[in-house]
């Protein structure tokens, strides 16, 4: 089943909120880079679904990185 845009956006919001309170220095550094990348995503991607999926993928990479430590 293909998730709706609203579901993807909700997941992105949850990931952003969880990572924002992570005390790990590397996670916070990666999150700062994500915010810069997010601005690029918003400038370059016109389709809202593409934007949400790209943001989600970047956040999932940060989350995965934090789980490895």
Residue 69 has a pLDDT of 78
Give which of 40, 23, 43, 19 is closest to 31, Cα–Cα: 19
pLDDT at 61 over 90: yes
Q: What is the pTM of this model?
A: 0.93
Tens of pLDDT, residues 6-60:
999 999 999 999 999 999 999 999 999 999 999 999 999 999 999 999 999 999 9
**Distances, alpha carbon 15 to alpha carbons 19, 25, 26, 49, in Å:** 6, 17, 16, 17
Q: Nearest 5°: CA angle at 25, between 21 and 30?
A: 80
Residue 30 has a pLDDT of 98
- In angstroms, the CA 59 to CA 56 distance is 5
């Amino acid at each position: 089943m293909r998730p709706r845009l609203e579901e993807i956006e909700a997941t992105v919001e949850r990931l952003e909120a969880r990572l924002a309170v992570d005390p790990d220095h590397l996670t916070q550094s990666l999150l700062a880079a994500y915010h810069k990348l997010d601005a690029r995503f918003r400038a370059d991607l016109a389709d809202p679904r593409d934007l949400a999926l790209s943001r989600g993928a970047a956040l999932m990479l940060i989350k995965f990185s934090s789980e490895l430590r």
